[in-house]
């Protein structure tokens, strides 16, 4: 009886160990994504990943600031594996605060993403450009000839420019890139010129800037590329669709470093409990299938070669423009504080 009891005890213990092992496997077969991208289409993409790999994607949606605060406050107790957001400056800032870790260095990731658009801690998963939109009725080709971001401070644009607030992350990244290329002193003078040229105080989102040009409130605006296609698609209503038809796109700095580029980025959170699965998900987001999903639903530019942007983007923005491959996007996070300081000192509201 003792031997039988001992045998049963061993079986019970073995069963508990097996159960714990299987439970651990179940927990490991998931990935936790803190997602600040506000596109419903992204959830469809994560479902495809789960169907292909069996890895469950736990999606925690929210605004960038709230998600970053949660990751920071939870620290080592955070369940976050990946932080996905819509600007390299945000990923860079999280890295600077010590909340990311290396590991996004697989052969697949390195082969897909140029060095300019990645670090070992975060990588771009889709691209966009921050460009100039103009009224073809009020802006001549001669005025735009050789136009640069630096040229936005030219007095000829006085009372003719609209752009978002200085607190906007897209503007902080743009100004950070100018600091990287031209230095803080020159950029500070540039910011003063931009403020002097504003048709009104900064307000509204990127689409509001395009609509201001269409309405005749300004002649030129600065906004990201995907917004025009989004408006033209009709997803934001007939009024915005008609407004988008009244403006044209211009890609600055074609005669020097190229047009300012930014990315939606995936960052590997420090202490990620499912690191291997997180890397697999990033690799999946860089496949042609995923990239086509991005371009057709969010109107961003693909990160990888061999995938075409949405026809709306191709037909209304074009493909033949020089991208800035010189300025590393890691500088956006590094120069972010200086960029905001430069803009606010110039009176940029």
- Residue 332 contacts by C-beta under 8 Å, 6 or more apart in sequence? 87, 88, 89, 92, 172, 173, 176, 177, 262
Would you state the pLDDT for residue 240? Answer: 97
The pLDDT of residue 33? 98
Identify the bridge partners of residue 82 per DSSP, sorted by sequence position: 33, 268
Residue 310 has pLDDT above 80, yes or no: yes
Closest CA to 324 of 227, 253, 270: 253
Confidence of residue 11 (pLDDT cuts 50, 70, 90): very low
Average pLDDT over residues 60-78: 95
Res 24: pLDDT = 41
Q: Is the confidence at residue 244, as pLDDT, over 90?
A: yes
Q: What is the mean pLDDT of the chain?
A: 92
The fraction of the chain above a pLDDT of 90, given in percent, is: 89
On the question of pLDDT at 224 being above 60, the answer is yes
| Integer Cα distance of 336 and 320 in angstroms | 30
The segment(s) of the chain belonging to CATH 3.40.190.10 are: 2-127+263-309, 128-260+321-345
Which is nearest to 47 in space by CA: 58, 38, 36?
58
pLDDT, residue 14, reads: 42
Q: How far is CA 77 from CA 67, 269, 273, in A?
A: 14, 12, 10
Q: What is the pLDDT of residue 19?
A: 43
Question: How sure is the predictor about 319, in pLDDT bands with cuts at 50, 70 and 90?
Answer: confident
The answer to whether the CB of 222 falls within 8 A of the CB of 284 is no
Q: Residue 4 has what pLDDT?
A: 37
Average pLDDT over residues 191-195: 98
Measured CA to CA, the distance from residue 309 to residue 141 in angstroms comes to 26
Model confidence at 320, pLDDT cuts 50, 70, 90, reads: confident
User: How high is the pLDDT of residue 8?
Assistant: 39
Residue 178 has pLDDT above 90, yes or no: yes
Helices and strands, counts by H and E, the chain:
16, 9
pTM for the whole thing? 0.90
Q: Across-strand partners of 222?
A: 132
For 7-21, 171-185, 222-236, 295-309, which range has the lowest pLDDT when averaged over its residues?
Answer: 7-21
Q: Tell me the pLDDT band of 6, cut-offs 50, 70 and 90.
A: very low
The third-level CATH classification (topology) of the domain covering 128-260+321-345 is D-Maltodextrin-Binding Protein; domain 2 (3.40.190)
Distance, in Å, from the CA atom of 189 to the CA atom of 165, rounded to the nearest integer, reads: 18
* In the predicted structure, residue 5 carries a pLDDT above the cut 60: no
The Cα–Cα gap between 61 and 84 comes to 10
> What are the backbone dihedrals phi and psi of residue 281, each rounded to the nearest 5 degrees, phi first?
-65, -40
**Res. 128: pLDDT tops 90:** yes
DSSP string, 51-98: HHH--EEEEEE--HHHHHHHHHHHGGG---SEEEES-HHHHHHHHHTT
Q: pLDDT value at position 41?
A: 86
Residue 28 confidence (pLDDT): 63
Check: CB of residue 100 under 8 Å from CB of residue 59. no
Q: HSE of 278 in the Cβ direction (CA atoms, 13 Å)?
A: 30
Model confidence over 25-35: pLDDT tens digits?
445 699 999 99
Count other Cβ atoms within 10 Å, centred on residue 143: 16
Using alpha carbons, select from 289, 242, 254 the residue that is nearest to residue 51: 289
CA distances from 171 to 109, 301, 313 (A): 28, 19, 22
* Residue 88 pLDDT > 60: yes
Mean pLDDT along residues 89-96: 96
Q: Rounded mean pLDDT of 287-299? A: 96
For the segment 224-228, the average pLDDT, to the nearest whole number, is 97
Rounded mean pLDDT, 138-157: 96
Name the architecture of domain 2-127+263-309.
Answer: 3-Layer(aba) Sandwich (3.40)
What does the pLDDT average to over 21-42? 75
């Amino acid at each position: 009886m003792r031997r039988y009891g001992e045998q049963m005890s061993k079986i019970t213990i073995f069963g508990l160990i097996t159960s714990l092992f299987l439970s651990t496997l179940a927990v490991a077969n998931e990935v936790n994504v803190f997602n600040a991208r506000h596109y419903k289409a992204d959830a469809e993409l994560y479902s495809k990943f789960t169907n292909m790999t069996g890895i469950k994607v736990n999606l925690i949606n929210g605004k960038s600031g709230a998600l970053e605060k949660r990751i920071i406050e939870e620290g080592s107790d955070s369940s976050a594996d990946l932080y996905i957001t819509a600007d390299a400056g945000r990923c860079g800032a999280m890295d600077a605060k010590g909340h990311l870790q290396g590991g996004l260095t697989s052969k697949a990731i390195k082969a897909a993403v140029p060095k300019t658009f990645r670090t070992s801690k975060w990588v771009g998963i889709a691209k966009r450009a921050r460009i100039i939109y103009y009224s073809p009725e009020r802006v001549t080709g001669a005025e735009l000839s050789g136009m640069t971001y630096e040229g936005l401070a030219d007095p000829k644009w006085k009372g003719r420019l609209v752009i978002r607030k200085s607190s906007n992350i897209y503007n902080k990244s743009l100004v950070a890139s100018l600091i990287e290329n031209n230095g803080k002193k020159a950029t500070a003078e540039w910011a003063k010129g931009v403020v002097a040229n504003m048709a009104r105080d900064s307000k509204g989102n990127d689409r509001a800037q395009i609509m201001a040009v269409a309405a005749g409130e300004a002649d030129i605006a600065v906004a990201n590329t995907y917004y025009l296609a989004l408006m033209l698609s009709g997803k934001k209503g007939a009024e915005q669709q008609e407004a988008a038809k009244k403006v044209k796109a211009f890609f600055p700095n074609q005669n020097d470093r190229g047009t300012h580029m930014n990315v939606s980025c995936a960052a590997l959170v420090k202490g990620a409990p499912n690191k291997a699965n997180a890397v697999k998900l990033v690799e999946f987001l860089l496949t042609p299938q995923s990239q086509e999903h991005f371009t057709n639903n969010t109107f961003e530019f693909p990160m990888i070669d061999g995938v075409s942007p949405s026809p709306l983007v191709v037909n209304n923005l074009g493909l033949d423009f020089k991208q800035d491959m010189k300025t590393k996007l890691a500088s956006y996070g590094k120069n972010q504080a200086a960029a905001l300081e430069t803009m606010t000192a110039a009176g940029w509201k």
